[in-house]
Amino acid sequence: MGAVALDGSPFIYYVSPGAEKTKFVVFQKGGGWCGSDVECAARALTELGSSNATFFPSTITFETFSQTSHFMLLFSNKSVSPLTWNFTKIFLPYLDGGSQIGDLTAPVTVGKQTIYYRGKRIHRATMETLLAVEGLASATDVVLSGGSAGGLSTYLHADTWKAALPSAKVVAVPDSGFFLNYNATSTKPPHRQTYGAMMRWVFNRMNGTGGVPDACVAANPSDPALCIFAEVVSKTLKTPTLAQQSTYDSFQVDAILQQPASNASAINAFGALLAARVQAALIGSSPDHGVFLDSCFHHVGEWNDITIDDQTISEALVEFYASVGTPGAKRVWTQGKAYPCVKCCSNGQ
pLDDT tens sequence for the chain (349 residues): 899 999 999 999 999 999 999 999 999 999 999 999 999 999 999 999 999 999 999 999 888 888 887 677 667 788 889 999 999 999 999 999 999 999 999 999 999 999 999 999 999 999 999 999 999 999 999 999 999 999 999 999 999 999 999 999 999 999 999 999 998 876 555 556 789 999 999 999 999 999 999 999 999 999 999 999 999 999 999 999 999 999 999 999 999 999 999 999 999 999 999 999 999 999 999 999 999 999 999 999 888 999 999 999 999 999 999 999 999 999 999 999 999 999 999 875 5
Residues pairing with 288 in the sheet: none
Distance of CA 96 to the CA centre of its chain: 14
pTM for this entry: 0.96
pLDDT of residue 190: 53
pLDDT of residue 63: 83
User: Which amino acid is located at 303 in the chain?
Assistant: W
Measured CA to CA, the distance from residue 29 to residue 291 in angstroms comes to: 21
pLDDT of residue 168: 98
Q: What is the largest CA-CA distance in the chain?
A: 58
Give 14-345's CATH code, choosing from 1.10.3470, 3.40.1130, 1.10.260, 3.40.50. 3.40.50
Q: In sequence order, what DSSP letters do the residues of 171-214 get, joined into one string?
A: EEEEES-----------SSTTPPPHHHHHHHHHHHTT-GGGS-H
pLDDT of residue 124: 98
Residue-wise pLDDT tens digits, 134-189? 999 999 999 999 999 999 999 999 999 999 999 999 999 999 999 999 988 765 55
Can you state the angle between helices 149-164 and 119-133, rounded to 10 degrees?
50
Contact 274, 246 (CB under 8 A): no
Contact 26, 145 (CB under 8 A): yes
Residues in the chain: 349
pLDDT of residue 18: 93
pLDDT of residue 73: 67
Put residue 241 in one of left, alpha, beta given phi > 0 → left and psi -120 to 50 → alpha: beta
**C-alpha separations of 103 from 1, 164, 204 in Å:** 11, 20, 10
